[in-house]
Amino acid sequence: MFKDKLYGIIVCLIIAIPALIAGNMFPIIGGPIIAIILGMIIAVFWKRRENFDEGISFTSKYVLQAAVVLLGFGLNLNVILATGIQSLPIIIGTIATALIVAYVMKRILNMEKNSAILIGVGSSICGGSAIAATAPVINANDEEVAQSISVIFFFNVLAAIIFPMLGKMLGFSTVSGDPFGIFAGTAINDTSSVTAAAATWDNMWGLGSQTLDKAATVKLTRTLAIIPITLALSLITQRQNNFNGEKFSLKRALPLFVVLFVVASIITTICVGFGVDANLFMPLKELSKFFIIMAMAAIGLNTDIVKLVKSGGKPITLGFTCWIAITVVSLLLQKFLGIW
């Protein structure tokens, strides 16, 4: 019954509110990371929580899926296709690179499969949102999600700080924001860090919001990759289950929340096409962000911080390798395409 879950949901809500406020104050860190950290710290001292566990588990799974669905309302497919086409080869190249590198490094490091997949997908697509969409599909547990989010966050912060200086060293255009915007949008995965790096470049050269607008569009285009990636992983997972004696299930192979994510983006596209103001969907997009923060609070509460730190070496190595590979491929493809 829902009543049994209520106490745990309320705890996650209580953690999420200050995490949201702090995340708005420090956008380079973001609410989800703050929520995970708060949850893990509270979990160290909170021992008797039997009446709360069911609600916490509900939040980490179903509220997270609801967040992914609502994320679809922030995607206008027409705008993405119209303005993101220039960056499409780079997006495809960086995504393919990250997934291949993650697979190879997983074998080299002898890593646990789910963590490798989550870090690879998070690095290649859009950080926390991609991890949120992928985790239920591959049946990842909360500690695997927390570890992946933490690794992605670490390299996001580094990128937000380093990339504007790197762009200056490499000679990116200082009169047009498009080249650096494409670089930030393809080589940084989390929205907050993409925004931070792009806004810094705009401020450095007095470009208004040119770089930020371009980077945001490229980032949204990358977000669409959630659809084929999650569907492919779902089919692979279902196929592996078949080998273990389970019958094929279309419901498991085609998760409802992924279908609803697609439907939400189509609804937004059609409505905006008929003249509806895109800002009408903004509350749903903001609710999606808050639901992710709530879910991250729940994941933090279900995570053993000591175990997470002790097992962090291999995931960090994998995340670093993916980060460097994506950065190099993004720069090489932009050079090849004559963007900078």
Give the tens place of pLDDT for each residue, 67-124: 989 988 988 888 777 766 778 899 999 999 999 999 999 999 999 899 999 999 999 8
Tell me, what's the pLDDT at 248? 52
pLDDT for 76: 84
Q: What is the pLDDT of residue 245?
A: 55
Terminal-to-terminal C-alpha distance of the chain: 58
pLDDT of residue 241: 65
In which residue ranges of the chain is pLDDT below 70? 1, 83-84, 241-254
pTM comes to: 0.84
Count of residues making up the chain: 340
- As given in the structure block, the two tokens for residue 94 are 């960086």
The pLDDT assigned to 269 comes to 93
Beta-carbon contacts of 36 under 8 Å, excluding residues fewer than 6 positions away, are 146, 149, 150, 296, 297, 299, 300, 303
CA distance 123 to 139: 19
- Of 329, 298, 303, residue with least CA distance to 11: 298
Q: How far is CA 228 from CA 79, 100, 121, 236, in A?
A: 19, 16, 12, 12
**Distance between CA atoms of residues 284 and 14, nearest Å:** 20
Residue 242: the pLDDT is: 64
pLDDT number for residue 98: 93
Note the pLDDT of residue 239: 77
pLDDT at 310: 80
